[in-house]
Structure 1
């Protein structure tokens, strides 16, 4: 039972002990609280943890590999995860937020005048002019930063890197945000250029490193997501990304809209079903034979086993479910299904608490402590 879930797999050149991955997640916690949460998730039996939003340059707001303190932080994180026989992946990203424009919103954030969603909307309005007017000098500097960050990530102990295909890569990919008239804008091949050159910058420095790509897909009819790759353009983007050096794809809905769309609750008007984003995996599979990770409200072992067994996805990524019960993988392995704390997708203490600047938690935490 659950043979597919528990089978080891070669994921784009990296050996994983099973098919369950912890998806990149924003926590908003103190360092020690975060380390302990990650330790519990790693100890619960998942094969790999993807650490979200690792910047590709020096950063004022985030832990950075490019400074001594930040590098030590990521070294410790990698060590904690490896001690629990779990792999760790760094999600490399560059914000597409205009930092100068962001400064005017800082007082509202500090005074908690803005919710996270309100701030998100304000910053999203600044994305298009920022991307469209960015100088080529800055573009090339950021692209080189992906390569430099990957080298530092490996030195810190990460087993794999993931290029964040939303954020700046996704905004360059999208006609909604990218109105450039040079070689980084216009047709789909040009809009893919930023992302492919970011991947190439990594591959040039690290010829053998597995490179995952978070492929954010924008949907129309009905419209969901603003950055990322339009469904009809996947056939152009995917071969270009593969040629650049991508070894696997982490497929999800594009961002830059409501957080409740990319982290949908159980009562979402469109994405309420189990495996709500797997339809994008089906579309991606038309253009690649590389490993694909699927996400989207996954919590039921029988459903996940079926998707893995029939080859629809190679791995299943979870965030909220492993927050609800970090031991989900081990409980499935040991056939303790009735003991699993199932995520009910209420978004109360995970997304809800994060939006209230209280950090990411779960309604089950008291029961698990």
Structure 2
């Protein structure tokens, strides 16, 4: 009944055992708890886990590929995920947050007079000036670092690399943020150069490594998202990314606005329906034959099978649904879809839990429902 969901597919030089991926997700837990949750998701049957926000340089936030401790952590993660025939993808990214610009707000955050989301919005307001004034030498060193990080990711046991097309890549891409007047700003091709160089750096460093590109698309009418490319710009950008070395595209709405836009609840005014971002995948499909991964509130096996079977997308990425029920793939493959704990997209304990600094969880955990 769910032949396409359960069918394998090639992604560059690797093979996915089925078409379901765990989308990059900040879990808000660390150490053994993080490893246990990731292994639980892998054991549930998904084909690949995308580990979000793996920094391309040394970082004090989370595990780093550039430290012995961080490498040991990622190596252990790869071993535990691979036990279950699940692949592991490193989402390489460079933050576009002005860390020094954050310092004036820390007292308010520590005193709980400012929420984490309010701090995020303050930092978003500084992005334009931050990337527009970044020294050229630093820009080039950063794009080069994507290749260096990819080599380390492979050493740690990652099977695939995803270049995060949002964050700094997306901010350089966006005319709303990028006001540079050099080779990295102005025209569309110049704004795209940062992302293109990042992809090329990975391809040059690892010719056989599968490269997925998280392609962030922003909307203008109505306005949703601030980074990334507009739908009209995809005609130029997608072929350039192919030539730079992309093997596939993970297409979603651009960030840097409300988190409930990119992680929309059921009652979102524009993105309340299942498959809410697949129209962006449709826009990318016009300009490429490479595999596309679709996202956006996916949860129904029947709906996902239909999108895959008709070739609208080749992979489906889920986050909240696999948090609600890591065994979604196993239950679907066994024809026991009535036993799936369906995500209701309430955002109460997933996004809400993260914002409350309690970690990303699910209402089913508290209810004890099996």
**1:150 matched residue in structure 2:** 150
Q: Which residue of 2 aligns with 1:178?
A: 178
User: For the residues of structure 2 that align with 1:326 and 1:112, how far apart are their CA atoms?
Assistant: 34
For 1:318 and 1:116, locate their aligned partners in 2 and report how far apart those are by CA, in whole Å.
Answer: 24
Deviation at 1:33, TM superposition (A): 1.4
Q: Partner of 2:70 in structure 1?
A: 70
Q: Deviations over 1:220-249 (max 9, x none)?
A: 111100001111100111111111101100
Q: Give me the whole-angstrom Cα distance separating, in 1, the residues matched to 2:152 and 2:330.
A: 32
Cα separation, 1, equivalents of 2:271 and 2:347: 14
Residue 12 of structure 1 pairs with residue 27 of structure 2: no
**CA–CA distance in 1 between the matches of 2:293 and 2:62?**
26
Query: Take 1:364 and 1:299, find their aligned partners in 2: how far apart are those partners?
Result: 15
Q: For 2:224, what is the secondary structure of its paired residue?
A: coil
Which runs of 5 or more residues in structure 2 are unaligned?
Answer: none
| Cα contact 2:200–2:244 (8 A) shared by 1 | yes
Partner of 2:285 in structure 1? 285
Counterpart CA distance in 2 for 1:107 and 1:61 is 19
Q: Distance in 1 between matches of 2:247 and 2:103?
A: 38
**Structure 1 Cα separation of the partners of residues 70 and 113 of structure 2:** 29
- For residue 144 of structure 1, report the CA deviation from its aligned partner: 1.3
Please give the secondary structure, in 1, of the residue aligned with 2:289: coil
Q: Is the 8 A contact 1:12 1:212 kept in 2?
A: no
Q: Which residue of 2 aligns with 1:254?
A: 254
Task: Please name the residue that 2:341 is paired with.
Answer: 341
Residues 111 and 37 from structure 1, CA distance in 2 versus in 1: closer, same or farther, beyond 3 angstroms? Answer: farther
Q: Does the CA-based 8 Å contact 1:12-1:291 persist in structure 2?
A: no
Q: Within 1, Cα distance between the matches of 2:117 and 2:331? A: 35
**Equivalent residue of 1:200, what SS?**
helix
Which residue is 1:234 aligned to?
A: 234
Contact 1:58 1:64 in 2 (8 A): yes
What TM-score does the superposition give when structure 1 sets the normalisation length?
0.98
Alignment partner, residue 314 of structure 1: 314
The answer to whether the 8 A contact 1:2-1:305 is kept is: yes
Match of 2:47 in 1: 47
* Contact 2:12–2:209 (8 Å) recurs in 1: no
Report what 2:112 is aligned to: 112
Aligned-partner Cα distance in 2 for 1:326–1:120: 30
Report the alpha carbon displacement of residue 177 of structure 1 after superposing the two structures with TM.
Answer: 0.4
1:150-197 per-position Cα deviation (integer Å, ceiling 9, x unaligned)? 000000000000000000000000000000111100111000100000
Matched residue, 1:133 = 133
Cα separation, 2, equivalents of 1:247 and 1:212: 6
Structure 2: how far apart are the matches of 1:13 and 1:278? 26
Cα distance in 2 between the residues matched to 1:243 and 1:102: 37
Residues paired across the two proteins, number: 369
Structure 1 residue 129, shift from structure 2 partner: 0.2
Deviates more, 1:205-214 or 1:100-109: 100-109
Matched residue, 1:56: 56
Partner Cα distance (2:129, 2:335) in 1: 53
Q: CA deviation at 1:368?
A: 5.7
What CA distance in whole angstroms lies between the structure 1 residues aligned with 2:112 and 2:313? Answer: 40
Report the Cα distance in structure 2 between the residues aligned to 1:147 and 1:104, rounded to whole angstroms: 34
Provide, for residues 324-362 of structure 1, a one-character-per-residue CA deviation record: whole Å limited to 9, x for no partner.
000000000011111000000000000001011111000
Displacement, 1:111? 3.6
Determine the structure 2 residue equivalent to 1:93. Answer: 93
User: TM-score, normalising length from structure 2?
Assistant: 0.98
- Checking the alignment, whether the CA contact within 8 Å between 1:13 and 1:247 is kept in structure 2 is no
1:210 matched residue in structure 2: 210
CA contact (8 A) 2:45 2:329 kept: yes
Distance 1:90 1:368, change over 3 A: farther
Q: Aligned Cα RMSD in Å?
A: 1.0
Question: Displacement, 1:112?
Answer: 3.4
Q: Distance in 2 between matches of 1:290 and 1:361?
A: 34
Alignment correspondent of 2:365: 365
Indicate if the aligned counterparts of 1:292 and 1:314 stay in contact, CA closer than 8 A: yes
Structure 1 stretches of 5 or more lacking a match? none
**Contact 1:57–1:149 (CA under 8 A) maintained in structure 2:** yes
